[in-house]
Structure 1
């Protein structure tokens, strides 16, 4: 199964993972955010629904993605571009979009402020 881990990480955590990968240690797919606030700003409930509808489904048009979530194409278009900008979605050469994972794992810890 092709799983991506979404996490809140410090720059040091990302550097540690990079160095481990450079030593040949498998790291798996990761998409990191610098704060929980940034993660929630990008991953709104509607964008989560879009990712859920696209998980494991292969490339599709924005119109198809909108149909799957039962939303207006224009509104989904804006969410798709936000997810593309954040590196969560990819665009194929033919213009279709893809969330290239079969599963999502979310990993972050809340600590006393």
Structure 2
């Protein structure tokens, strides 16, 4: 099973993880956001629904995603493109979209202001 960790991480954290990976330490798949606010701005409720139905499903058309989430194709198209631009999902050579993970782990800490 391939799990991706969605996290809030500083540039320093990401650099440390990359250096460890270059040193041969397995890091697993990570998608990092600079802040909790950016994570929630990117992963809105409707986009989270899209990720949920794409998890473990392989490449899909936007029309099929819209059918599975029971939403208008045009609205789903906008959300899919936002996820593509954020680097959360990928496009295949055939033009389909894919979230190539079987599970998602979300990891961030809320600290006192």
Coarse TM-score class (shorter-chain normalised): over 0.9
* Counterpart mapping for 1:2-21 below 5 A: 2-21=2-21
- 1:84 paired with 2:84, answer yes
TM-score, structure 2 as length reference: 0.99
Total equivalences in the alignment? 113
| CA root-mean-square deviation | 0.4
TM-score, structure 1 as length reference: 0.99
- Tell me the secondary structure at the aligned position of residue 58 of structure 1: coil
Runs of 4+ residues deviating >4 angstroms: none
Partner residue in 1 for 2:102: 102
Give, in whole Å, the separation in 2 of the partners of 1:32 and 1:54: 19
- Tell me the secondary structure at the aligned position of residue 106 of structure 2: strand
Give, in whole Å, the separation in 1 of the partners of 2:31 and 2:89: 11
Partner residue in 2 for 1:49: 49
